[in-house]
Each structure stands twice: as C-alpha cells, then as structure tokens.
Chain A
C-alpha cells in the first residue's frame, strides 16, 4: 500500500478502512460493580431500580382488579394471599421504592420543565412545589374514592 501525503492512515482513504472500526473511542474497562464505588452511584442505581417496584405495583393492582371483578370469594382469597408475610415484606420494599421514585421525579421536574408566565420564568422551587401539591391532591382523591362509605 502506498500512502500519498495527506492520506489519513486508518481513515476513509485507507484501503483497510472499515466504517464501523474507524475512530473507535478508547473505553477504559469498568467493573460490573461500578455502582458500588460511590454513594452517589449507589443512589443512582437504587433510583433506576425503582422501575421494578413500578412494574410490581402494576401486576399487584391488576391482580386486585381481577379479584374484585370475579366476586366476593375471589376477593377474600386475594386478601389471604396479600396477608402472607413475603407479600407484605415485598410491598413494604416496593412502597419505599415508589416513594423514592416520586421524590426524585418531582425534584427533577424543574430541570425538565421551563415554564414562562408573562415573560417571567417561573422559579424552580415553585414548579417542584406544584408537583408535590399535585401528589398530595391525587393521593387524597384516591383515598377518598376508595374509602368513602
């Protein structure tokens, strides 16, 4: 292979050039346990894992809906199942992760949403505050609908 001045070795002019391999950035090896190295990394990993609690909640609530739809006997059976210790423990953990998800989500809302009112940018604290207020209102509404006599 002859190279002319100006040819870039390994670049598009090189006969050995392959688009997928050119200019691959160097990636230093990272341990699979990288998220244990710092507290902030661990917190990030826990926040991402909250999605499992979200999926479990959907499954659990849909089993509840099915039991309610099938009748009194099925609902009684569902209540027996939900009272089993491992289900209660799982739900305590899931609830903790749901609260983690909600808090981290609402705290990030001002970073993701820029609201302008009459040309003025609404302060981040106000946006986060409204998100928390919405959470309180929705939770109260859910409790009222489920528990009203």
Chain B
C-alpha cells in the first residue's frame, strides 16, 4: 500500500523563531545598559540626565527607530520564550493554542502601544 502523501503544513514557526533570535540579540545588546542607567543609576541618584536633553534625544528619528526595533523585537522574544516556559516549565502543553494566541496578542498590542508612545513623545 502506498503511503498517503501529506504536504507539510505551512506554519509561522520559522518566522517566530527568527523574531525570537533577533529579539534576543537586541535585548542582550541594549537592555542591560538602558536598565542600568534608568532603572538603577537615575533612581539611586548616581546620574541625573535632564528631561530636556532626553527629549532632544527622543526627537531624533534614529533614536525612535532604534527604540522601536529594540522594543518590538524584545516583545516577540518574550512571547516565544514565555510560551515555552509555560509549555515545559508548568507542563501546559495541552493549552498550546490558547497560550500562543495570548502571548502573541500581547506582543502585537504591546508593539502598537510602543509605536504610539514613541510617536507622541517625539
């Protein structure tokens, strides 16, 4: 009997893994420095960049583009890693579909919010 020929189903998985990788690089390169400065050094009084200077930095289109890229890719990096944390760490593989929809909905809505905030802050 001939084997039934089944075409492999096309999925978004390769693109999602690509976004995960790109986000991993962006997060590793940019977030430690940004969070050290704005999450620790500024609140603890070690550094005090002025608001006007920061606003001028944000007015530069290149800053906006880089921040948009870092934030959006980081969100998709989170979505991929977090859904696997839920699948494997908490053994929720049975709810795969729901978790996928939830994680990527947050990533997409978060990306839109990031774009809007960056556009308004310039």
Contacts and interface: CB of A to CB of B under 8 A. Distances in A.
A61 B71 contact: yes
Contacts of B81: 48, 50-51
Say what secondary structure dominates the interface of chain B: helix
Contacts, number: 148
Interface residues of B, number: 52
Contacts of A94: 35, 39
A98 B51 contact: no
Interface stretch (B7-15, B84-92, B94-102): B84-92
A48 B79 CA distance: 11
Interface in B1-57: 1, 21, 23-25, 27-40, 42-44, 47, 49, 51, 54-55, 57
Given A82-B39, A87-B43, A91-B43, A48 B33 contact: no
B38 to A, nearest CB: 6
B110 A102 contact: no
B117 A98 contact: no
Most buried by B among A32, A61, A142: A61
A112 B20 CA distance: 13
Interface of B: 1, 21, 23-25, 27-40, 42-44, 47, 49, 51, 54-55, 57-58, 63, 67, 71, 74-75, 77-78, 81-82, 84-85, 88-91, 110, 113-114, 117-118, 120-122
